[in-house]
Amino acid sequence: MEKVSRRGFLKRLALVTDSERRTQAHTLVCVFLRGGADTLNMFIPYADDNYYSVRPTLSIARPGSAGRKAALRLNDHYALHPTMSALLPAFKEGELLVVQGVGSDNTSGSHFEAQDQLEHGESFGKKLGGGWLGRHLYSRSGGMTPLSAVAIGTSIPEALRGAPSASVLKSIDEIKLTLPKGNPQAVANALSMLYSSDVDLLGNAGKVTLDLLHRIEKLKSHSQKPVAGANYPDTEFGAALREVARLIKADVGLEVACVDHGGWDTHFFQGAADGLQASNIKELSDGLGSLYTDIHANLDRVTIVVMTEFGRRIYENSSMGTDHGRGFALFAIGKRVKGGQVIGGLPQLKEAPIEFLGPSGLTVAIDYRSVLSEVVRSLLGNKDIASVFPGFTPQPISLFKTTA
Amino acid sequence: MRLSRRKVLQLTALLGGGTVLSGCDGAISEASRRLGLTIPDRLNPPNGKEIDPNFHLLSRAGYGPWPGDLERVKTMGASAWLDEQLNPEKIDDGLCELRARRFETIYLSPGDCYEFKNNVLRDDLTRYTLLRAIYSKRQLLEVMVAFWTDHLNINLEKGDCIYLKAGDDRWVVRAHALGNFKELIKSSCLSPAMLVYLDGKENRRARPTDVPNENYARELLELHTLGVDGGYTQEDVYEAARCLTGWKLHQKGEFAKGSVYFDSASHDDGEKVVLGKTIARGGGQNDVDRLIDIVTNHPSTARYIATKLVRYFVSDDPPSALVGTVADKFRGTRGDIRLVIRTILTSEQFQQHKGEKFKRPFRYMVSALRGIGADTHAKSGLVEYLSRMGHGPFQYPTPDGYPEEMMPWLGTLLWRWNFALALAGNDLPSVSVSSEQLASALLPDSKSDLDTDLLIRHFVGRKATEAEIQALKSFKKGNSDLLGLVLACPAFQRF
């Protein structure tokens, strides 16, 4: 990105009309769990005794355990957290894939550094311009509309930094120009002139916003209700996924949707089958399960990827929580994923004795960019991995099928 | 104008006594107006091609001019104005107090706050913050309060923070906003709200096998003092966490609830080494003082704070020469915030970056309300705009605080436009504006009407460009949409 001239960049910002936009593009729904999610308690390695010995109060009971809320069996080694029943069908259908030991080379233990690094697609300490999705959207062929890349929420995530266009919205319905009186068209025209004469990124943001207004106006006419059985949680996260489903079903050319889910920094009183993290996991799982049901007809061209900045320590701390670790389990849902399996293992759980004091966590066996490279190449159809992850050589894992 | 307390009381008595202080919006507005919070009869907006230097000062060292502020700075001189702002305790702020003091939960002890419902506590603190930003004459203090509020971010929605943040705002942020950095960090470190927000109250080591909770210690080094590239190690985080074991909050008791105590049985009293400096065993509750001394005196801290302040006041791309000067000042004065800010605001570089920064939603809203001379009591309808733009006060979830740079906020334009058009049309909930009064102050005679150039001069501090005039030429002079569009234009998004 740093090689691109300013003029070249601004030229790229030109938006395309409906007839020029890419049709039937694959849609990537990127869910980021903010705060460093303890995925060890989402995909439970119940066959490892060490898991139970280092987590005396936080571990989840083995599948079939009597008297307690037990984990939901996936295979001979892994089980889901008891609140994740909504994702069980996807796994059974071979449409949910879990990859263990994913992470970055970031050893800072900082949420913000690690999040930025993952979203930028960088190596530790090597700053790149823009986010990985921004570089993908910039380097892939074809034009963009304001609905090509959408963040649900109130701010544009780092991953989309540098995208030729990115919109942020909470709900499709609230995208409108509201005037107490007067002529909205005249006001929109004036805004268009004011912002097109602004040479900076702000000028482009104005242009994108006006184009978004125009497109949403057309979209609102056909309402998209969730299909039967898709009962999104009545939370901000649930609402965000519902909007993503509306955009997918309306076929507006959505390529990337970013959704955040927060509250995973469970240093204190994390809980096990119930409690703080359990309610967070339930909301995540119920939300994703609803989205899975709602867009199942489109699932051959949609993939949901869920990641976090780092996993947490294997052992619990003195306040019944877990501190910052390293590797985490990334998971993906869709008809294109080689689902129904958990790739990679947790070797350090087998090594005794476990180092208790000071920083430690799950080993990073797979660089997160190896996973994302396959997302970019196989799903999003962009072969220019060198532009998206400059200086990085992905390790082949083969996570996706060529056709659904 | 200096208002004596007696005069305020006389006036409030005249307007119906107790009802004023107990919360009658109309009476407070009327009292404010009579006491001088109005648009002056005559305004002389800048007329240059570049943004006026005094306008720039008011925009960065405050939330932009209230009508008449610019004329005042011009008369007294920028340097005298800055001196005044750097000594906020000497500025009479009676008019702001009249609006902001009515929120009783702001002034209570944490124990008493537990008696109130969450939405009352949230509304009080939010409205208090917004009203202070809009109406306080201690504008530099207010922008520094905003700076430290982000720097030492606490989200109201975590744990008991909602009961404790008002105390943190008062005794940590406001008490030290223009004071000494070390004192600020020390008071933040043992602030009940911070002990809850970053789990410090759970950080204990009663037995050797107990693992300390590193949450606060990490953010202390990474976000509050040295910065992430400041040269500390994971071992330093762990050692700092050990120093901080044993600080707890009273969970019960009418008066004690929410207050801090040291439990020596939960403290790790062994020797610690932080950033190469040894803290001898047996330090007990003094470990925290030693730790704060070490981290606040570290050279990386001076550099990190200087960079952040220069970014805040000067440019998103902080000029390195200025950062160096400011860091030296920080070290030389042992963290005297007042002198550090004076160095920044009187630097050459300060005037070289006019109109380049992008207003975050809070600043955008406050500067518009100030520029237009609005009368508001900042009720939920107004706060809703901030929430929708992702900038609700005390709502940022993670300890790094709201971002300062432009990019994450670029998606908020539609909400800014809708806010601007509603404000100009006098259609915002709980806000009243008189554009007629503004017009009569800006116009030399009553025959003409407000045109694009005059509005841009007033709100942006320079003459309108040809492109701005062209874009708005189809709107009739004096039209409220024209005023709204000036507040919606790219130039007013910047400062």
Closest alpha carbon within chain A to B266: A318
Number of domains in chain A: 1
Is residue A280 one of the residues assigned to a domain? yes
Is residue A326 one of the residues assigned to a domain? yes
Q: Chain A: give the shortest CA distance to residue B210, in Å.
A: 5
Residue A24: the pLDDT is 66
Mean per-residue pLDDT, B285-290: 98
DSSP secondary structure string, A39-105? GGGTEE-TT-HHHHHH-TTT--BPTT-SSS-BPEE-SSS-EE-TT-GGGHHHHHTT-EEEEEEEE-S
> Whole-number mean pLDDT of chain A?
87
Residue B362 CA neighbour count, 13 Å, CB half: 26
Q: Do the Cβ atoms of A318 and B480 come within 8 Å?
A: no
Q: Do the Cβ atoms of B213 and A268 come within 8 Å?
A: yes
Q: Which residue has the tokens 């009064």?
A: B437
Closest alpha carbon within chain B to A213: B414
Share of chain B above pLDDT 70, in %: 95
- pLDDT for B358 beyond 50: yes
Note the ipTM here. Answer: 0.90
- pLDDT for A137 beyond 50: yes
- pLDDT for A19 beyond 70: no
Residues 326-365 of B with CB under 8 A from A: 358
Is B410 part of the contact surface with chain A (CB cutoff 8 Å)? yes
Mean per-residue pLDDT, A371-395: 95
What is the extent of the structural domain holding A334?
34-115+176-229+261-388
Question: pLDDT tens digit string along B211-221?
Answer: 899 999 999 99
**pLDDT band with cut points at 50, 70 and 90 for residue B290:** very high
**pLDDT band with cut points at 50, 70 and 90 for residue B5:** low
Residues 447-476 of B with CB under 8 A from A: 465, 467-468, 470-472, 474-475
Backbone angles phi, psi at A204, to 5 degrees: -65, -40
Question: pLDDT tens digit string along A350-365?
Answer: 654 455 444 567 888 9
Q: Do the Cβ atoms of A206 and B490 come within 8 Å?
A: yes
Question: pLDDT tens digit string along B111-124?
Answer: 888 889 888 999 99
Q: In angstroms, rounded to a whole number, what is the distance separating the alpha carbons of residues A130 and B13?
A: 60
Is residue A81 one of the residues assigned to a domain? yes
Q: pLDDT higher for B23 or B407? A: B407
Is residue A20 one of the residues assigned to a domain? no
* B408: nearest CB among A156, A181, A316: A156
Residue A359: the pLDDT is 52
Question: pLDDT tens digit string along A192-248?
Answer: 999 999 988 899 889 988 988 888 887 776 667 888 889 999 999 999 999 999 999
B233 token code pair: 């190690």
Q: Do the Cβ atoms of B205 and A318 come within 8 Å?
A: yes
Residue B432: the pLDDT is 94
Q: Give domain limits for chain B.
A: 198-297, 299-351, 358-495
Mean per-residue pLDDT, B132-145: 98
Residue B464: the pLDDT is 98
Question: pLDDT tens digit string along B360-370?
Answer: 999 999 999 99
Is residue A10 one of the residues assigned to a domain? no
Closest alpha carbon within chain A to B389: A154
Residue B152: the pLDDT is 98
**pLDDT band with cut points at 50, 70 and 90 for residue A7:** very low
Is residue A107 one of the residues assigned to a domain? yes
Closest alpha carbon within chain A to B206: A318
Mean per-residue pLDDT, B306-311: 98
Residue B21: the pLDDT is 43
Helix axes B480-488, A184-196, angle to 10 degrees: 30
- In this structure, of A323-327, B1-5, B71-75, B264-268, the range with the lowest mean pLDDT score is B1-5
Is residue A90 one of the residues assigned to a domain? yes
Per DSSP, the three-state class of A348 is: helix
Question: pLDDT tens digit string along B245-262?
Answer: 999 999 887 778 889 999
Contacting residues of A for B471, CB less than 8 Å apart = 190, 193-194, 197
Q: Do the Cβ atoms of B215 and A107 come within 8 Å?
A: no
